[in-house]
Structures are given as C-alpha cells and as structure tokens.
Structure 1
Amino acid sequence: MKIFDAIAAMFTGWQASSRPEISNVSYSDAVMDAFGVSAAGTTVSATSAMRVSAVAACVAKISGAIVSMPIHEYSMDGGEIPAILPRSDLWYLLNEQPSPQFTAASMWEGASMSQLLRGDAFGLIKWRANGRPREILPLPWGCVSPIRTIAGGVRYYVNMPSHGISTWFEPSDILHFPGMGFDDTIMRSMSVIQFGARNAIGNALAMDEYSGKFFENGAHPSMILQSTGKMSPSQIADLQQAFARKYAGLRNAHAVPLVLTEGLTANQMNISAEDCQLLDARRFQVLDVARAFGVPGFMINESTGATSWGSGIESIGRAFVQYTLQTWLKKIEQELNRKLYPRNTGRFLEFHREALYEGDIGAQGAFYRLALGGPGAGDAFMTLNEVRRRQRLPPVDGGNELYRAPRDQPQPAPKGVE
C-alpha cells in the first residue's frame, strides 16, 4: 500500500506541476473593443452610457431637437421653388402616428437614440395595395440583421416575436438610418460611443463609481490607528474590522464618538475630493463627452467655460442646427426620400428647421419686419397673410399683396455691401 501511495503522490505532484498557471492575462485591442471595454477598464454599452448624466443630456438635446421639427412634404411642380403640400396620409404617419402602437415623437426619439448609442436605426414600411405606405413600425436595433447577398444586394432579417414577425425583407421595405462611418461590408454603422466617446464615458463611469465609494466611506478614505506596542497580524485584522463596522459609511459618520484605549491614537489623512482632483476631472469629462456628441457644454448646463456659439436663442439654435443636427437630419431625410419616393416624382420630404428658431420673439419681429418690407427695408419677400399663417393666425383682407417700394426712392444696399 505504501508503494501505491508513493506512486499516487508522485503522479499528483507531476500533474500539479504540469498544470499551466494563468496570470496577468492580456487581451488584444480588438477583443477589448468588441466587448466595449474602455481604457479605464469599465464596460461601456448603450445602457451603461446613459447612466452618465452628460451622455443622457446630449442624447436628450439631439433627439429632442429632432422631435421638435415637423416633417413637411414639398413638390417642385415643374418650377424652381418647392411648394409645401397640404397634409396627407404620409404627413400624418411622419408627424402624428406612424403605427397604432407609437406616436411620431416616440418613433423619432427612439430612432435618434439608436443612431447615437448603437449606430443604426430601423423601421418597417407596411404598404397599401396602391403603393402608398400604410404604417411605419419602429424596429429595435437588436431585432434586425442586414445581410449581404451573393449577388451584391442586401436583405434584412427581422426577428420580432412580439409582433409575429420572423422573416426576410427587401431593402425597399426597411428604413435604415445609419449612424457614423457606415460600413458597406457589414451594413452597420458606428455609434458615437464607438467612434469617439468610449474612453470619455468609461472614465466618467469609473469616476462615478470612485466618488460613490469615496463618499460611501463617510468621505474619510483613510484613518491611521497607531499603537504604542506591537500587535499580531490577527489583532490588526480584528481591529480593522471592528473599526470599519463601527465608523465606516455615511450611516455611521459622526454617529458616536471615537474612543480608543490600550495606547491607541487615531490620525486622519486629510484627503478631500478637491485634493484628489476628482471634481476637476469630472468637469473635464462632461466637456469631453459633449465634444464627442457635438453638443456645446452650456447646452447641457456645463457653464465653466466660455462659448463662441453666439448669444441669444436664435444664434444658439442656428449654430446647433448647422454644426450638429444637420448631419443627422440629412441621413434621415435621404433615407425617407429614397424609400418613400422610389421614382423621381418631383416630391420630397424635409424637416422644417425653422421651427427651432421660433423662441426668440425679438428676432422673429425683426425678421418679419424685414420680410414685409417698407420704408428703409425695401421690397417685401413675404405677404402679411404668409406671416399670419406662420403665427397660426387667420388671413385678413388685402393681406396677399407684396409690398413694393416706390422706384424713385433709393433702395437700401444689400447687407455687407458698401
């Protein structure tokens, strides 16, 4: 038996020594990127990113602005100036109720959030027998799989059991709103998180967790207990645990006085959030996230820095539309026009961007005075009834005439021309 025991011991020792030890495992950047791991070691996903207040504010600003703009249908009618068309069934789908389960505001908000946080947004067009759209059903990002065919085309597989849908669709039936850097090979786009905000959001999540731990300990991260005599390791561990149970955490902060015996003295390490540069770092991360989304800091209540976007609601609105929203609006408009008007019918859809500028009453008044013309303003380019229609007011008699300045009066020079 002793011989067998010796052999078994030798075998066990050989097996243990031959077993590889795994330590300090490192993964490639591609693997870390696939799992959404930031440089701070935190996993950044569409869900976790929205826990960062700066991300939630930027997404709310962009998606909210898109929701605020109506979509109008225009027709060229053989002329050079597009004419706005009366409200139709298509207008109702895009502005009021695209599907019985959704409002238009919910659909556009969801589409914008999906573009920003996931990279792509999708919608299913259900057609009438006459070729006009009957319904537009928003599709969750994870339910749609675009696939390249052997012939070079594209098909979309939609798996949404909640609506009884699990089948393939042709591109003409799917609205595909891309995000950033559309990849024609995989038919997917990158989100703002993937494109430039992953590390910024990861750092913000890490700092949120750190600050939570900082204040969880009663904002006293370290306390030195000094003894006049020597203590064994078990005594040190027991003292640490007893002190933590008694005084650590916000619930125990300043609850009972600290009493030390047996020659123990306590010395607090004065480390504050300012000393750790935590507050400055958090301010920087807010601006870093806003920079990635293209939203000025002051629009998400970060007012530590100056802005060069101008002053007043009109200037802010125009700059925000021009530098941030324009790209997202164009992607939506082009997809709507190429899918809903597959042939060149002279009609097109467009967001009414002017809706974002209507908050500044003074600017509106100055614009309308210039539009109506008059002494010192020259010829009009809008009639009184056109102005009243914009303000939701009924027309008046004689309000369809354009003002023309008398020809014998000198006309004002165009702005910027001496």
Structure 2
Amino acid sequence: MLTSAVFGSDVAATVYGSPDPVSSPGGWLVRMIGGGKTNSGVAVSEFSALRLPVVYACVNRISNPIALFPLKMYRTRPQGGKELVQQGTGRGQHPFASRIGVRPNDLMSSRTVRKTCQAHALLWGNGYVEIERNGRNQGLGLYPLLPDRTAPVRENGDHWFRTTIDGRRHDLDPDNVIHIMDQSQDGFVGISQIAMAREAVAMGLAMETFGAKFFANEAKSGGFLMHPGRLGPNAQRNLTKPNGEKVSNPENPASRLDDQGGLENAHRIKVLEEGMKFVQTTIPPEDAQFLGSREFQIAEIARIFDVPLILLQSHEKTTSWGSGIEQLMIGFIRSTVEPWVDAWEQELNWKLFTDEEKEQGFYVKFNMNALLRGDMKTRADFYQKIFSVGGFSPNRILQLEDEDPIGPEGDEHFVPANMTTLRRASDPNFQPDPNAPSALREDDPDEIEADARAERDAA
C-alpha cells in the first residue's frame, strides 16, 4: 500500500508500506529536517553527505557525462533511417527541437538542468523535471524540481506529483513530470542511496572530523589529568567541560564522563580525579589504522554509486579492467552511466511528445559516441572496416568525428568491387573499371613486375 502523508504546506513524503514513527531516526521527517544521528554520532542527510569528498566525487563522475552528452531530437523516416528535427511549427518540425540540448528554459543551460536532476537522483533517489507546454500541448521547456519538496502520490487509483514552490503546494499531472530514479520498492518512489548507506557515509564524515581535530591538537593524541583522591565538592563545582562551560550535573560521575567523551572531544584532555598528573593516551591514529580505514570508506561509498576507485583518484590496491584506462572508461560508461541515460531517454520519449508526435516518429537521443569511440587508431580501423562494406558514407564518418561534410557526393556508400558505389554495383550491366586506382587486378603487369623486383631485392 502506498501512503501519502502531508503536514502543513511544505513537508510531504511518500513511503512504501507502514509509515515510520515521527521520532524514528531513519524516518522521513528526521531526514527532511537535517538527518538523524547514526551509530557514529554524526547526523547524515542528503545535504550533509555532499560534504564528504568521495560522495561529491561520485555524484560528479556520473552527473558530468549525463550533462556532457549531446542531446538532440530526431524523427524516423517512413522509408527507414532517421533525420534531425528542425526548429519550427510545421509538420516534421518541433518548437523545442533546437533548445532541448542547449537551453531548455530561459534561466538554465541544458547542462545545468541535466546535471542538477541527475545529482538529485543520485542523492535522494529521485530527480524531477517539470515540462512546460504550449497551447498545442507540445513541450517547450524543462524546469528541475526540488527532490525534498516533490513526491509522487497515488490515491484511489489516481497518480500525480505533488510539489511545493515558494511555500505553495501544487499538484502536477504525471505526464508533465520527468521522474528519474534507479532502484525502487514500489515502482513509484526511488530509494535514496544516502538513506540506505547512512552509516557508511556517517563513518566517513566522523573520520574527517576526527582527523581534523587530531591536527588541530598539534598532531598529538589526547590524555588525562589523574589525581589519587576524589574531587571535593568545590572542585566538582569548578569542574568544566573542555570549552569552559559548566557540566550539567557535577554530582554524577557518569555525567562528567559523558560531557568529556564523544567525537566532539576527541584528542582533548580529560579530567578524572584529584591528585592530577597528565597521562598521554597510547593509541595514535597510525596504530588504529586511521588512513587504512579512510581508504576502506572510500571504497565502501564508491560501491554505493558503482564508480571505479581509479576514477576517484584512489589507487590503493586497485586493478583496471582490460588493458588500460580506455577499457575502464568504456566499462564505466556502459555499466554505470548508460543505465541512467536509458532512464532519461525512456522518460523524455514517453512524456515530452504528444500522441501525434509519437506517431510521426519523434524521439530524443543522447549521443554517447564521444566517450565510447576509443583512441584514433581504434577509430580509424573501425571506420575503414565498416566503410569497406558500405556501412558508413564518408560524410557519416566525418560527422562522427565532428568534422564538416565534403558535399552531397560524400553521402554515397561504397563496396569493395573496385570501391564503386552501391548503385552502380547493383546494375547488372556494370563492369568494373580496370583503371580504377583503388583496385589492382591479379594479372596487372605492373603489379607482377613490382613483385619480381621485390623478390630480387630480397635475394
């Protein structure tokens, strides 16, 4: 059962199954107001998680390709193939064709919209983009919605999205909201990666704080002031916390220890009993494998986002896929980025276009060739092989290399029969040109003489 709970005008959450108590540390309300405490004592929310460098890096590594890939609008041709849709209002044209990949709204670039929504999907588990439409119901703009103020709602068989903008609640038609998510339990609400991995993120944040306090204390561990007797009443009343404030209950020894313990007081000097002498603690960070623990947390969080460690500048005990960085990048794009690209394309192609436009074959597509085409030698070998079987025309190869076409004649396709065009090769009366420079006949006397000369030179 999908339950929607709304409190006031700007606190809304949709949960699957029985709702969590308001006081639950992992409940939606606690996460919305800043995140609850974890076992490490650190509060974690989708906002605070970005303060951990590895989380920030993982979000960047996935969001940047999504924002980088060219996004264009195409239309399938009745005779086969596709054509780039031109900006306009006529048949076969679209008023949003040239803006979708450049400026989907007047305030943001296409890169900004896509990177923002993708980051939301990676942190909150849900990214939302509202579609602006004209009087003909055609898409004219894309605007990102805040993930902590937006949620899908399903009641009495109806489905819509509810969001809060400038303190006012709005209900949006589901066909006007692009919803990007990954894993989900109910198919309507994505699972927040940060919520699922709160303890791992909290441990990373705790180690950041621990290390900072260690160096702030002159790279020395803390210690104790010990005294052989017990503190008298006056001494207990004068007992202060490390920052100088009075303890809450000086008569309670447990209270004194609690006031002086925890992550906030790491590396500070603790006061125990009278007859004081300073005793240095004997567990330095290297003995506690502090650096090793930090490397482990980097790997742990990288697994959440499915990002290879080498892409996070972490080279500790790592191996590469294939024979080098090229194969690693291709593997990362295909296994991590491409599923997100597919999620974007499915949502855009289903919701952006009207039924009439879908019948005409309109669709959008990300061009991922920029990160998948390999090095120059590999690309040249690929182009040569697919060109020789008539697969690519010269202009198509130039287009993939972001070069200018050579004119209408560059649209011809060629086959190996003396490298003639497919049209001429399909003519039954066509005879290969013996003088074609790209073809050497087996009985060519010049070729026979060249081979003989090469044999004599070798001898």
Taking structure 1 as the reference length, the TM-score comes to: 0.74
How far apart are the structure 2 equivalents of 1:134 and 1:122?
16
SS in 2 for 1:54: helix
Q: Using the alignment, how far apart are the partners of 1:54 and 1:79 within structure 2?
A: 50
1:389 aligns with 2:399: yes
Q: Find the residue that maps to 2:412 and give its secondary structure.
A: coil
Distance 1:244 1:118, change over 3 A: closer
SS of 1:381 mapped into structure 2: coil
State the identity as a percent.
25
State the Cα distance separating 1:402 from its structure 2 match. 2.4
Let me know the Cα RMSD of the aligned residues.
3.4
Cα distance, 1:210 vs structure 2: 1.7
Q: Is the 8 A contact 1:71 1:95 kept in 2?
A: yes
Structure 1, 271-280 or 341-350: larger mean CA deviation: 341-350
Whose helix fraction is larger, Structure 1's or Structure 2's?
A: 1
Alpha-carbon distance, 1:75 to partner? 2.6
SS in 2 for 1:309: coil
- The answer to whether the 8 Å contact 1:71/1:91 transfers is no
Residue identity opposite 1:181 in structure 2:
S
Matches within 5 A, 1:305-316: 305-316=317-328
Name the amino acid aligned to 1:276.
Answer: A
The 1:99/1:183 distance shift into structure 2, 3 A limit, reads same
Decide whether aligned partners of structure 1 residues 264 and 44 sit closer, same or farther in structure 2, where only a CA change above 3 A counts: closer
Aligned to 1:206: 206
* CA drift at 1:400: 2.7
Cα distance in 2 for partners of 1:240, 1:278 equals 32
Offset from partner CA, 1:373-394 (integer Å, 9 cap, x none): 3xxxxx2421222112233322
Runs of 4+ in 1 over 6 A off after TM superposition: 27-30, 224-227, 234-241, 263-267
Matched, 1:125 2:131: yes
Distance 2:169 2:230 in 1: 67
Aligned to 1:351: 366
2:333 is aligned with 1:321: yes
Moved more, 79-88 or 330-339: 79-88
| Residue 177 of structure 2 is aligned to residue 174 of structure 1 | yes
Amino acid at match of 1:170: D
- 2:109 and 2:51 map into 1 onto residues whose CA distance is 26
Q: Is the 8 A contact 1:147 1:154 kept in 2?
A: yes
1:92, 1:98 within 8 Å by CA — same for their partners in 2? no
TM-score (norm 2): 0.68
Deviations 1:289-340 (A, max 9, x none): 0011000000110111233422445422321121111221222111111112
The verdict on how the C-alpha distance between 1:96 and 1:220 changes in structure 2, with shifts beyond 3 A counting, is same
For the Cα contact (< 8 Å) 1:312–1:360, is it kept in 2? no
Structure 2 Cα separation of the partners of residues 149 and 76 of structure 1: 38
Any gaps of 5 or more consecutive residues in structure 2? 1-19, 88-93, 245-274, 419-438, 441-459
Cα gap change, 1:133/1:367 in structure 2, threshold over 3 Å: closer, same or farther?
Answer: same
Give the superposition deviation at 1:366. Answer: 3.0
Q: 1:368 aligns with which of 383, 386, 391?
A: 383
AA aligned to 2:158 is: G
Please name the residue that 1:190 is paired with.
191
What letter matches 1:216 in structure 2? Answer: A
Does 1:74 find its partner at 2:86?
no
1:139 aligns with 2:145: yes
Q: Does the 8 Å contact 1:182/1:189 carry over to 2?
A: yes
- CA distance in 2 between partners of 1:224 and 1:30 (Å): 37
Equivalent residue, structure 1, for 2:122:
116
Matched residue SS, 1:33: coil
Aligned equivalents of 1:326, 1:382: Cα separation in 2: 24
String of CA shifts for 1:144-173, please: whole Å, max 9, x gaps: 2432232x11122332128xx643222122
Q: Is the 8 A contact 2:96 2:141 kept in 1?
A: no
Q: Which of 316, 323, 330 is the matching residue for 1:304?
A: 316
Q: How far off its partner does 1:52 sit?
A: 0.8
- Select which of 404, 408, 417 maps to 2:415: 404
What letter corresponds to residue 171 of structure 1 in structure 2? P
- 1:221 and 2:214 matched: no
Q: Which has the higher mean CA deviation after the structures are superposed, 29-38 or 394-403?
A: 29-38
**Amino acid in structure 1 at the alignment position of 2:195:** Q
1:122: Cα distance to partner? 1.4
